[in-house]
Amino acid sequence: MSFYDTMREHDWNEVLQEIQGRTVAHVEKALGKAMPSDDDLMSLLSPAADSCLEEMAQKANRITEQRFGKVISLFAPLYLSNECTNQCVYCGFNASNAIGRKTLTPEEALEEGQKIHDLGFRHLLLVSGEAPALVPPQHFARTARLLRPLFSSIAVEIYPMATEEYSFLVDHGVDGLVIYQETYNRELYERVHPAGKKRDYLWRLETPERGGRAGFRRLGLGALLGLSDWRAEAFFLGLHARYLLKKYWMSHVTISFPRLRPAAGAYEPAKPVSDRELVQMVTALRILLPDVGLILSTRENPHFRDHLIPLGITSMSAGSRTEPGGYTHAHEAEAQFQIADERSPEEFAQVIRQKGYEPVWKDWDAVFMEGDVA
């Protein structure tokens, strides 16, 4: 049994048709419920819900403040490598793009980590393309071990691994796993991933479960917004999160909202998602999943990010560099995508404060991931 079995109970096109058919009455019913169902999620994601967007935003705000408080957690990505054997048509690291490739040694990563630490961050996300021959699990483990004293939490957003490999990373102090499905639409998935290990839809879909079994404390999901119809993606994301919450009940689940940005290779999003639609998606998922962390990155512009702070988002990156070595030697390697919010972490923290929220740099402790009590 895996999430795939749950997913198969729903046909992509039927889900879309169902969502399109919802009325304002359906939406109001969903908004009135204390515990919305998967079926209610369809209503909240429907075109009809657009007219209830303010009400959804108010509800999302209330739920989030109650559960998480008036705080926004901050984290920074550290790009370890832009080597990649995949050919994801939308990605700047695509193997067929002629870009400068670089993999940081653990010592170089430490230098980057020190810079990130000095900026104030205590939560780190290690990011890499998929090139296991060049950047094997041992490389991440060694790097995490070196970085551990600088950070209270280290998560990875890297290629899917086997459970034993993930356990190995957990043993080296990595506490979180982020893995985007990119798209839940299998047919499309195979089209936008024409080559490389990433072509294997099921291997990727079941990755968060392998992460849960390996003992990661945080499991992060996401769909790349712009590849296909966001309403259906959001529905399957919601199902996926709910499935993981039940099955890996000791792990915190998060959802990110990566909206496709211009990148090398110049992929134009086939189904662009508007600001208004993204707000609908964020608030709908918040209403369905009161306890899930919702994450927004610097892919989004300052204006949009600032306004999303009270709408259900709980965690944000700031001052990000998306090329390996970018914090200490900017622009020497190719970035995965252009960031749209170039404000420094401290500038952004100030904005959070102005909005009446507390920027939180540390909400975890390395001591959780250490060895046995003597």
Applying CB under 8 A, the residues found at the interface with other proteins are 65-71, 122, 152, 217, 245, 249-252, 291, 353, 356-358, 360-365, 367-368, 370, 372-373
Tokens (6 digits) for 246: 């039940």
Q: Cβ closer to other proteins: 210 or 252? A: 252
Residues 87-106: b if buried by 16+ CB within 10 A, e if exposed:
bbebbbbbbebebebbbbeb
Q: Cβ closer to other proteins: 115 or 355? A: 355
Q: Name the nearest CA neighbour of 18 among 52, 45, 49, 42.
A: 42
Q: Is beta strand 71-81 parallel, antiparallel or unpaired with respect to 358-360?
A: parallel
Q: Name the nearest CA neighbour of 246 among 1, 30, 69.
A: 1
> Could you tell me how far CA 74 lies from the centroid of its own chain?
13
Q: Cβ closer to other proteins: 53 or 119? A: 119
Q: Cβ closer to other proteins: 217 or 321? A: 217
Contact assessment for residue 216 and residue 177, using Cβ atoms and an 8 Å cutoff: yes
> Least distance to other proteins from the beta carbon of 342, Å?
25
> Least distance to other proteins from the beta carbon of 146, Å?
20
Contact assessment for residue 202 and residue 4, using Cβ atoms and an 8 Å cutoff: yes
> Least distance to other proteins from the beta carbon of 189, Å?
29
Q: Cβ closer to other proteins: 70 or 276? A: 70
| Residue 110, Cβ density class (10 Å: 0-12 exposed, 13-18 middle, ≥19 buried) | middle
Q: Cβ closer to other proteins: 98 or 374? A: 374
> Least distance to other proteins from the beta carbon of 358, Å?
5
Tokens (6 digits) for 3: 């999430």
> Least distance to other proteins from the beta carbon of 132, Å?
30
> Least distance to other proteins from the beta carbon of 298, Å?
22
> Least distance to other proteins from the beta carbon of 144, Å?
19
Contact assessment for residue 63 and residue 287, using Cβ atoms and an 8 Å cutoff: yes
Q: Cβ closer to other proteins: 8 or 246? A: 246
Question: In this structure, what is the dihedral angle of CA atoms 137, 140, 145, 150, given to the nearest 10 degrees?
Answer: -160
Contact assessment for residue 265 and residue 230, using Cβ atoms and an 8 Å cutoff: no
